[in-house]
Structure 1
């Protein structure tokens, strides 16, 4: 929604807006994108149990519920689609995350978004064919116009890279925070303390889920003076790495290293 407010790009987008090179998507009107990273296939027929989803082969796609990889990105032809018949009964709406994206999500079900204000985030990292991903989280006080009037906002920029071409490199999950002018010091530096309104909502990250991780790591640790080890689990068949309780804030810049 921040992108829509600043650039005018719609929140809900036709498939061709993101993939203008794929002519097969020009007349696709029964599925759409939320932003650039979430593909939705709504179920519009009564009693439906299966739906046909058109996946652009330029990207990998992961099911948001099962985290199963649905497609592989084509190295030779990115101007095609792959159509798959998927489950879409009363318990399942087909929704998919694009490989190369990082999506912060609050998972606890509440009666309103206002009641979610103290809930922590889970980062869902969907690696692309190059084992890279990036995404952002815009943050303000969530109830005033101070972000527009006084520049009181911040953006967490998340990135993950797995580089096997360099033997000295380690896969790294990184967060670099950019602060709005209302939170900067007089000399333009990073604020030493944040406006209390920015602290009223939880910015904590309780879990990091990485989809498409090629192998099990031997160690995951926070890159700092302490190099504190982090608890993790890996599914060899699903290729999913889950980092639990990193105890990190989206308002802080930090690095996590993954060692094989």
Structure 2
């Protein structure tokens, strides 16, 4: 079972995502245990203040180091034996991708720190193992980013998805975008399912799927092709695709 703790000022934001769909089922099946912790509860002053003005001046407020540190100590005391990855959600962090989701899915215990306000006291970074960004843009807080990362990670855990091949063939898992897929009816508004998918020849189907994955990647995300090693078959297919398009 994977253990996840989330440090946030807005725990109610997680109620929907953690009770529905794949995440909710994973929790119900005992494959995932998630605690959402309001780190305001670890503030020392009577107003439960977790932010303050930055030294040296500047716009906005910064999250203070003490509430975050004490919340992390609380998690460590509660789960001292687990191998933890502590993830700081930060626009300056390493961009999240499928490879990172696969790495996180191998961890025993994940802790997400959701920032807010203008930023963090720099000393908070000394308590984390990973600084991660959802992308090259700024959100109001780290909550939405944490939800996305949790979803992308948990679906890779054994037995979470009904069919393990569902995750293995996803876009980005193979280095290519996923090939087109179809279901019934075989024709709709004049748009027909490719004949090769209905002839039962698994070798031809696999070749068609590979070529269409290459085609979609070449047309939509050509930079991805530079990051994978192409087989001779794939190189030949890619040359055909370039001529066809």
Structure index of larger Rg: 2
Higher-strand-fraction structure: 1
Higher-helix-fraction structure: 2
Q: Which has the higher contact order (CA 8 A, sep 6+)?
A: 2
